A and B are shown apart, each in its own frame.
Chain A
Amino acid sequence: MKTKMDFPAINDRRPEGLKEDGTPYRVLIVDDSMFVTKQIGQILTSEGFEIAGIASDGQEAIDKYKELYPNVDLVTMDITMPKMDGVTALEKIMEFDKNAKVVMISALGKQDLVKKSLLLGAKNYIVKPLDRKKVLERIVMSLKK
């Protein structure tokens, strides 16, 4: 009698959030809205990513990035935030770590800032409303860049 072992495990896909060695990618989420951080957190953890930290303004984002470095693989960065905006925070993070992988997240209406962010070194951007497919696709693409 054949056992399950004899069949190839075609559905055994590695979750997107895990590296080849099986450890999770670590993500820092930056957004001043509790709703958005929760939403991104849920999408990412459902695919095996680990939330390394959460920051609610640009200055906190820089501090957390430095604290976590080098154990942080990617940052999701909101643009409009109190104290320091996401574009300035991106610039400072890129100065600190030129290989940082930052994905900008914004509502429409900020095209100029999105362009500026990409020139400053952001790997990608996601326009709100967020959905699972869009978020995972852009983040996975950025990790491979």
Chain B
Amino acid sequence: MRVEYINPFVESAYSVLKEVLNCQVSRGELYLKSTCTPVLGVAALVGLAGDVEGRILFDMSKDTAIKVASVMNGEELKELDDLGKATITELANMITAQAVTKLHDLGFKFDLTPPAIFTGDNMEVTTAEVEALIVPMIIPYGKVEINVAIRERI
């Protein structure tokens, strides 16, 4: 997978997280997974199809998801209820939309699926034949991993 696909997602995750959470955001070390990837607890998945195809996963622990949703709503959520899930979905939407604008400007054309939220313990995601690049974004509430597995359509 080409690294230029992940950069727009990292840049927009950085700016959107900073803006909606009003906090410090730092970028962890990028790493590559060629097999299956464990999911931290709450994952928002957006699919891509067009000149490039694959998926982006915004992955975080349940605790981090609840804290992020609480800050974005300006009220303390006790659990990841419907409002909490709608909030994480919206976060994924905003990050993806900004990144896609950048990729479109670079000449890649593709469509997106609405985000789907997965929650649970001991989950793994496997993307056959596409390696995943992962960049952890560190925020005061934990980390959000930007997990991108995209390839050019043959």
List A residues at the B interface (Cβ < 8 Å).
33-36, 38-39, 42, 80, 106-111, 128-129, 131
List of A residues within 8 angstroms of B93 by Cβ: 33, 107, 128
Closest A-chain residue to B69, C-beta based? A35
By the criterion CB–CB under 8 Å, are A109 and B97 in contact? yes
List of A residues within 8 angstroms of B74 by Cβ: 42
Question: Which residue among A42, A106, A109, A131 has the maximum number of chain B CB atoms within 10 Å of its CB?
Answer: A109
By the criterion CB–CB under 8 Å, are B100 and A36 in contact? no
List of B residues within 8 angstroms of A38 by Cβ: 73, 83
Q: Mark B117-145, 1 if CB is under 8 A from A, else 0.
A: 00000000000000000000000000000
By the criterion CB–CB under 8 Å, are B101 and A108 in contact? yes
List B residues at the A interface (Cβ < 8 Å).
16, 19-20, 72-74, 82-83, 86-87, 89-90, 93-94, 96-98, 100-101, 104, 114
List of A residues within 8 angstroms of B87 by Cβ: 35
By the criterion CB–CB under 8 Å, are A35 and B104 in contact? no
By the criterion CB–CB under 8 Å, are A34 and B83 in contact? yes
By the criterion CB–CB under 8 Å, are B83 and A109 in contact? no
By the criterion CB–CB under 8 Å, are B86 and A109 in contact? no
List of A residues within 8 angstroms of B97 by Cβ: 106-110, 128
List of A residues within 8 angstroms of B86 by Cβ: 33-36
Q: How far is the CB of B65 from chain A (nearest CB, A)?
A: 13
Give Cα A128 to B87, complex, Å.
13
Give Cα A127 to B141, complex, Å.
26
Closest A-chain residue to B98, C-beta based? A108
List of A residues within 8 angstroms of B73 by Cβ: 35, 38-39
Give Cα A122 to B82, complex, Å.
31
List of B residues within 8 angstroms of A109 by Cβ: 96-98, 100-101, 104
Give Cα A110 to B97, complex, Å.
8
What are 21 A-B pairs with beta-carbon distances under 8 A?
A33-B89, A34-B86, A35-B72, A35-B73, A35-B86, A35-B89, A35-B90, A38-B73, A38-B83, A80-B114, A106-B97, A108-B97, A109-B96, A109-B97, A109-B98, A109-B100, A109-B101, A110-B97, A129-B16, A129-B19, A129-B94
Q: How far is the CB of B11 from chain A (nearest CB, A)?
A: 12
Q: How far is the CB of B101 from chain A (nearest CB, A)?
A: 4
List of B residues within 8 angstroms of A39 by Cβ: 73
By the criterion CB–CB under 8 Å, are B83 and A107 in contact? no
Question: Which residue among A35, A36, A42, A129 has the maximum number of chain B CB atoms within 10 Å of its CB?
Answer: A35
List of A residues within 8 angstroms of B114 by Cβ: 80
List of B residues within 8 angstroms of A35 by Cβ: 72-73, 83, 86-87, 89-90
Q: How far is the CB of B59 from chain A (nearest CB, A)?
A: 19
